[in-house]
Amino acid sequence: MVSAEASQDDGVITNAQLNLGTFCLEADLYDQAEFHLNTALKRSQNIGYRTGELSTLDSLGMLYQKTDRLAEAQGAFQSALALALELDDPQGELEAQLHLGAVDLTLDHLDEATVHTVRGLELAKDTQSPKEEIEAHRLLAALAFRKGDYRAAFEHEQEHCRIKDDLFNVERDRQTQNLSIQFEVERARHDADVYRIRTEVEQEARITAERLVQERTGELARAQHEVVTRLAMAAEYRDDTTGEHTRRVGRSAAYIARALGWSEERAKLLGIAARLHDVGKIGIPDSILLKASRLDSAEYEQMKTHTLIGARILSGGHSELLRLAEEIALTHHERWDGKGYPLGLSESQIPMTGRIVALADVFDALTQARPYKRAWTPLEALEELKKESGTHFDPFIVQTALQVLASPLLVAGIPSSGHFADDVMFDEADASHILGVFEQLLVERTRDLETARQEAERATEDMARMAFTDSLTSLPNRRAFETDMETVFQDAAARTQVDALAVIIFDLDGLKVANDTLGHGRGDHLLRAFGGHLETAFRQVGRAYRIGGDEFAVIGTRTPDDACIGRLLQTTLDRARQQGLTHLSASMGVARYPEDAQTPGDLVRFSDRRMYQDKLSRRASREQLTPDRR
């Protein structure tokens, strides 16, 4: 009889061979890949590791396909399909069906390719696998084209592009959210640095304090300037990858402010803040932002919201730079005659910063080429500013700007006095003034400084927790789940006897329907309610997570049997239904170590597959209970 420890070692070695084979396959090292994959296949068969055998057959089929050994590829994929059907593994069957469809298409076996691909499309829809659904539509488009059915080919290609665009938009939204979180974290770190500097100055002598203030103020200014520049670039990376538009608008705004009598320091600050005037475009879809033709009324209304989005992103800042940037983002599309947006302000109701940047923004937009217009000459643009004086723009600012923007050196992009170079940084604050303030704080506000330091530390800790917390449900997120999985699994593997370790995956049924019919607010309420009751019900089992969309998970370190887990899930649903969520239901899958899988990744995949099997089984049961109304 093989010991559990030996079985575990065999599984680890088998997975290592499979991973090596996959790596060599991706690196086009076909001889090495074939050796490792064949070794992994033999080991999987010898130890009865069926899921490992299925994965290896799939990789071998792709290897044979890449090396034009199509008959062998077909045999490997057919074996994988048979094994997936035997294991009742929808995901494994889906991959095998699509691979067989691709091979049969290459061999010109069009009827067989159609059967496999149509079945693959059905499985992709059932298991909600959009990437595989995209591949299925691509293959069906190619098959229809090969058969001369051009209408069907066009329809499948359209569906392929639609799903692909949906996936892209989801990914873009995720990146946008990560960027906003990163900006908030950077801002909190800067605030914490300021408080730390004050504490250091409290404890050190006058000369040391002066040196620290000068050094740290310069560092914070440069760091904040860099964050501003990167966020401005992020707002324009889709239609202006160089960021030159924001640079030119900032430079022109600084020159106009200086000509209006602003101090040089404040004019420089305005030039940097102006670069964030369109940061809200981060939240505008590409279909609107990059549209080459004129926007329709609904699209234009959505484009106008970039002012509110930008102000919201920049709100709550403590520095003068961020306060100016928030004011500019909100008001740079207001008009002197009150016909602008978003607030319909007029004349002196519009902040001076918004009036200056509005003119600098329009001037730069006129003098640059766009897909829908040519670039105007500087003289043509200046004439347009004259015409809009008193309607779009403040007449006094127009009068000043005409003199500044008409300068040959500025039009050419060369600062006339060297004061406003593109890469200008903040000047360091006057050290003696800062030291005077700090000396007063030493006497009068020692307690306040300690409170501020503690608040900064808490803010930093909160920002760190944000990276591991789901913002909607306040549960640990996918990143926390993966980190905890590695830690818990290592602890379990290090023990000679494992009491219990399991992964439980949950998937809410009907979330998309709730969002589409009742609104996303109702869908968010559903997710929060389920997550809160799941955490309470499973507290004695392990930690609960929201791992994405409508999926939740529990890492069980004190795992009861499946019947008990089912009762806990029912308790969760009953409590949520008491809050008005009467139709709430969920699917569940459980995988245990070491019985079902021997690595963290396999444990998650195994539980995920069982969850989808539960979902399909319950869906089939509902269909049997529903009378045929045709």
pLDDT of 348 reads 92
pLDDT of residue 11: 67
pLDDT of residue 629: 43
pLDDT, residue 4, reads 41
Asked if the model's pLDDT at residue 388 lies above 80, the reply is: yes
Give pLDDT tens digits for 285-319: 878 877 777 889 898 999 999 899 888 877 766 67
What is the distance between the alpha carbons of residues 421 and 418, in angstroms, rounded to a whole number? 6
The residue-averaged pLDDT of 609-628 equals 74
If residue 465 lies in a helix (H) or strand (E), which one and from where to where?
A: helix 446-466
Is a pLDDT exceeding 60 seen at residue 26?
yes
Residue found by looking up tokens 């000679």 in the block: 496
489 with 600: CB under 8 angstroms?
A: yes
Chain segment 443-493, per-residue pLDDT in tens: 344 454 455 556 656 666 666 667 788 888 889 998 889 888 888 877 776
Q: State the chain's mean pLDDT as an integer.
A: 79
Lowest-pLDDT range of 27-36, 72-81, 193-202, 591-600: 193-202
Residue 202 — very low, low, confident or very high, per pLDDT cuts 50/70/90? low
Task: Assign 362 a pLDDT band (cuts: 50, 70, 90).
Answer: very high
What tens digit of pLDDT does each residue of 329-339 get?
999 999 999 99
pLDDT at 52 over 90: no
Measured CA distances, 168 to 129, 162, 175, 242, 285 (Å): 15, 10, 11, 22, 11
Q: Which residue has the higher pLDDT, 559 or 562?
A: 562
3 state SS of 419: coil
| pLDDT value at residue 327 | 94
Of 290, 286, 278, the residue nearest 371 (C-alpha) = 290
Instruction: Please name every residue paired with 542 in a beta bridge, in sequence order, or none if there are none.
Output: 556
DSSP state of 39: H
Q: Which residue has the higher pLDDT, 404 or 510?
A: 404
Q: How far apart are CA 205 and CA 224, in angstroms?
A: 28
Is a pLDDT exceeding 70 seen at residue 164? yes
Q: 320-331 and 264-273 are packed helices; what angle lies between their axes, rounded to 10 degrees?
A: 60
**386-390, 393-397, 406-410, 538-542: which has the minimum mean pLDDT?**
406-410
How confident is the model at residue 356, as a pLDDT? 96
What's the confidence (pLDDT) of residue 412? 46
- Residue 501, pLDDT > 90, answer no
pLDDT given for residue 506 in this prediction:
93
Looking at residue 188, its pLDDT comes to 65
In percent, the amount of the chain with pLDDT more than 70 equals 74
Domains detected in the chain:
4-168 (1.25.40.10), 237-429 (1.10.3210.10), 478-625 (3.30.70.270)
pLDDT at position 430: 36
Mean pLDDT score, 214-242: 54
pLDDT at 18: 82
HEC profile of 365-410: HHCCCECCECCCCHHHHHHHHHHCECCCECHHHHHHHHHHHCCHHH
pTM exceeds 0.75? no
pLDDT digits (tens, 9 = 90+) for 86-97: 888 888 888 899
Q: What percent of the chain has pLDDT over 90?
A: 21
pLDDT, position 21: 83
Least confident of 56-70, 169-183, 296-310, 373-387: 169-183
Taking 60 as the threshold, does the pLDDT of residue 234 lie above it? no
pLDDT greater than 80 at residue 393: yes
Task: Determine the Cα–Cα distance for residues 495 and 55; give it in Å rounded to an integer.
Answer: 28
Mean pLDDT of 590-617: 86
pLDDT at residue 104 is higher than 70? yes
Q: How many Cβ atoms sit within 10 Å of the Cβ of residue 193?
A: 16
CA distance 95 to 120: 7
- Quickly state the pLDDT bin for 220 (edges 50, 70, 90): low
